[in-house]
């Protein structure tokens, strides 16, 4: 008994000392059979530490979440909030500080019996400040299928992070190969040039992370001159990623897929 | 005309990184952990592996705690390859070692590089554009860069992935030794950033 307690205390101490802690959370306590809700891995970092986006940039490793569901339940694609950029001595990384939710929509079967169900997940991450510490976590959360809809205590966090997920508003654009890389042209993005814009490529082997992206505005089109990745062995058919546009205090993110023109 | 185009393409690639694969590997002279001067040119006629190293980086730990790196060091040096482990961590930064500490750490892990080279100014690391630990390079007996990139095909911090991964350094060496072109001469390295 004492040994168990000591072990438990040690575990808690280790968790508190860890640069990143993990919880599995659900947006609801109770939903009706056949309804959907959201589940998320919540990664909480100590100040100055970060974990990584699906493309971590020049170093680091992507954060992972692997959810195990009850039989017959279905899960949608993992939604990654728009990443942020970190400069580590000239190397550029893409990721998140403070806290991030990686969420996915869960569909319950209409035929499921009412009752309490357990969902589980495994997560892994590399947390870095100057140094890096890899971490692994496991989480469990219970969701009840009943005749009501009751949000969970974490519902507000879902709402907050949902705003960070890039929108799929149809932006059209293209990528024109240049000597150094590509000229990306994207529209419509309003009537005036944004204060800042940056394109986060989803593949780590498409664009240079460290090269400056030259932003210009031409007749209602946002133009970004970006450098090819040194790991890009052949020209891709399309360049996918997240465009982040800043106007004043507003930071908007768009999921973008740009066809590459042949020269 | 074709030749001209090839040259231009090579120049274009060169301007994005430092040393394009198949061109001359940047030369250098560094002090090793025992205090001797070691130059890349000393090893003309032999294959040379360069391994960027920070013993406190968890991705480096992945490859040493599993014996993966040491096994590769022993296998390749057993075939006459020169293995240079290079530490470019700046003084005060993670993984920075003096000669005595480097030897102590490497002996403790039963590592088997030919030499450990100290690059506290980061000069050689920057010449090679070494980004991560580990970041691996293979130099041909003629001094050409044959491989620049990751240790293997699965970027992770989990040692359980090593048996499932393809070791790119071993593959590049075996292809080159067999007289073939290296099929994957440049890959994206993974790990901690080099602590310049």
pLDDT (tens digit per residue) in B109-136: 999 999 999 999 999 999 999 999 999 9
- Name the CATH architecture for the domain at A16-162: Sandwich (2.60)
ipTM of the complex: 0.78
* Equal fold, A16-162 vs A172-260: yes
What average pLDDT does this structure show over B70-99?
97
According to the model, what pLDDT value does residue B2 have? 42
**Confidence bin at B143 (pLDDT 50/70/90):** very high
**Confidence bin at B5 (pLDDT 50/70/90):** very low
User: Which of A163, A188, A173, A164 has its CA nearest to residue A256?
Assistant: A173
Cα separation, B173 vs B177, whole angstroms: 6
Domain ranges for chain B, please list them: 2-193
**Confidence bin at A13 (pLDDT 50/70/90):** very low
According to the model, what pLDDT value does residue B21 have? 78
Contacts of B99 (CB under 8 A, 6+ apart): B31, B32, B33, B34, B35, B116, B118
Measured CA angle at A17 (ends A13, A23), to 5 deg: 85
**Cβ of residue A187 closer than 8 Å to a chain B Cβ:** no
pLDDT digit string (tens) for A77-124? 999 999 999 998 788 999 999 999 999 999 999 999 999 999 999 999
According to the model, what pLDDT value does residue A234 have? 83
Cα separation, A186 vs A221, whole angstroms: 6
User: Quick check: B4 pLDDT over 80?
Assistant: no
User: Quick check: A6 pLDDT over 60?
Assistant: no
User: Quick check: B9 pLDDT over 80?
Assistant: no
**Confidence bin at A16 (pLDDT 50/70/90):** low
What's the distance, CA B150 to chain centroid?
A: 9
Q: Which of A134, A179, A205 lies nearest to residue B157, judging by beta carbons?
A: A134
CB atoms within 10 A of CB B81: 21
Q: Distances in Å between the alpha carbon of B140 and those of A9, A26, B173?
A: 54, 55, 9
Residue A5 φ/ψ region, left for φ over 0, alpha for ψ in the -120 to 50 degree band, beta for the rest: alpha
Q: Distances in Å between the alpha carbon of A16 and those of A2, A6, A7, A46?
A: 21, 15, 14, 9
According to the model, what pLDDT value does residue B6 have? 39
**Cβ of residue A175 closer than 8 Å to a chain B Cβ:** no
**Confidence bin at A14 (pLDDT 50/70/90):** low
Nearest chain A Cα distance for residue B5, angstroms: 13
**C-beta atoms of B132 and A58 within 8 A:** yes
Longest dimension (CA), chain B: 56
Cα separation, B14 vs B4, whole angstroms: 15
CATH of domain B2-193: 3.40.30.10
User: Quick check: A246 pLDDT over 90?
Assistant: yes
Contacts of B15 (CB under 8 A, 6+ apart): none
Helix (H) / strand (E) element for A9: namely: helix A2-17
**Cβ of residue A180 closer than 8 Å to a chain B Cβ:** yes
Tell me which chain A residue has its CA closest to the CA of residue B189: A59
**Cβ of residue B11 closer than 8 Å to a chain A Cβ:** no
Helix (H) / strand (E) element for B4: namely: helix B2-16
Six-digit token pair at A208?
A: 């240079």
Domain ranges for chain A, please list them: 16-162, 172-260
According to the model, what pLDDT value does residue B18 have? 57
Euclidean distance between the first and the last CA atom of chain B, given in angstroms as a whole number: 42
Question: Which B residues, 13 through 52, put their C-beta within 8 Å of a C-beta on chain A?
Answer: 13, 16-17
**C-beta atoms of B186 and A231 within 8 A:** yes
User: Quick check: A153 pLDDT over 80?
Assistant: yes
Contacts of A179 (CB under 8 A, 6+ apart): B12
Mention the CATH class of domain A172-260. mainly beta
Contact A153, A238 (CB under 8 A): no
Instruction: Please indicate whether residue A3 or residue B105 has the higher confidence score (pLDDT).
Output: B105
According to the model, what pLDDT value does residue B99 have? 98
Give me the sign of the Cα torsion angle B64, B67, B72, B78.
positive
Beta-bridged to residue A63, according to DSSP, are none
């Amino acid at each position: 008994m004492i040994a168990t307690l000591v072990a438990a205390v040690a575990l808690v101490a280790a968790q508190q000392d860890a640069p990143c802690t993990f919880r599995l959370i659900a947006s609801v306590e109770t939903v009706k059979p056949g309804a959907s809700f959201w589940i998320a891995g919540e990664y909480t970092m100590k100040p100055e530490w970060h974990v990584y986006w699906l493309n971590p940039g020049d170093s680091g490793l992507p954060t992972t979440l692997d959810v195990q569901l009850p039989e017959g339940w279905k899960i949608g694609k993992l939604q990654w909030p728009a990443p942020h950029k970190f400069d580590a001595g000239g190397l550029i990384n893409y990721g998140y500080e403070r806290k991030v939710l990686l969420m996915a929509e869960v569909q319950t079967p209409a035929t499921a019996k009412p009752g309490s169900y357990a969902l589980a997940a495994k997560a892994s991450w590399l947390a870095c400040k100057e140094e890096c510490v890899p971490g692994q976590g496991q989480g469990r959360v219970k969701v009840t299928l009943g005749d009501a809809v009751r949000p969970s205590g974490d519902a507000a966090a879902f709402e907050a992070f949902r705003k960070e997920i890039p929108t799929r508003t149809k932006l059209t654009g293209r990528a024109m190969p240049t000597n150094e890389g590509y000229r990306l042209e994207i529209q419509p993005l309003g009537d005036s040039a944004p204060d800042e814009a940056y394109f986060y490529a989803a593949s780590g082997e498409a664009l240079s992370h460290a090269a400056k992206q030259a932003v210009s505005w031409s007749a209602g089109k946002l133009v970004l001159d970006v450098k090819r990745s040194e790991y890009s062995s052949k020209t891709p058919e399309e360049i996918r990623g997240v465009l982040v546009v800043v106007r004043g205090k507003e930071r908007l993110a768009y999921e973008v897929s740009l066809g590459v023109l042949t020269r | 005309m074709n030749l001209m185009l090839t040259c231009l393409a090579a120049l274009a690639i060169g301007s994005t990184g430092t040393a394009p694969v198949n061109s001359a590997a940047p030369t250098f002279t560094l002090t090793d952990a025992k205090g001797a001067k070691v130059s890349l040119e000393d090893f003309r006629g032999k294959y040379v592996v360069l391994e960027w190293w920070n013993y406190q980086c968890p991705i480096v730990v992945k490859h040493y705690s599993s014996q993966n790196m040491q096994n590769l060091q022993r296998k390749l040096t057993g075939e006459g390859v020169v293995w240079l482990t290079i530490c470019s961590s700046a003084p005060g930064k993670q993984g920075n070692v003096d000669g005595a500490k480097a030897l102590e750490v490497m002996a403790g892990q039963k590592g088997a590089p030919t030499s450990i080279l100290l690059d506290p100014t980061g000069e050689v690391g920057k010449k090679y554009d070494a980004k991560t630990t580990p970041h691996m390079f293979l130099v041909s007996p003629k001094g050409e860069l044959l491989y620049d990139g990751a240790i293997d095909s699965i970027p992770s911090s989990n040692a359980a992935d090593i048996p499932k991964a393809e070791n790119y350094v071993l593959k590049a060496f075996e292809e080159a030794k067999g007289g073939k072109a290296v099929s994957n001469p440049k890959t994206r390295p993974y790990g901690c950033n080099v602590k310049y």
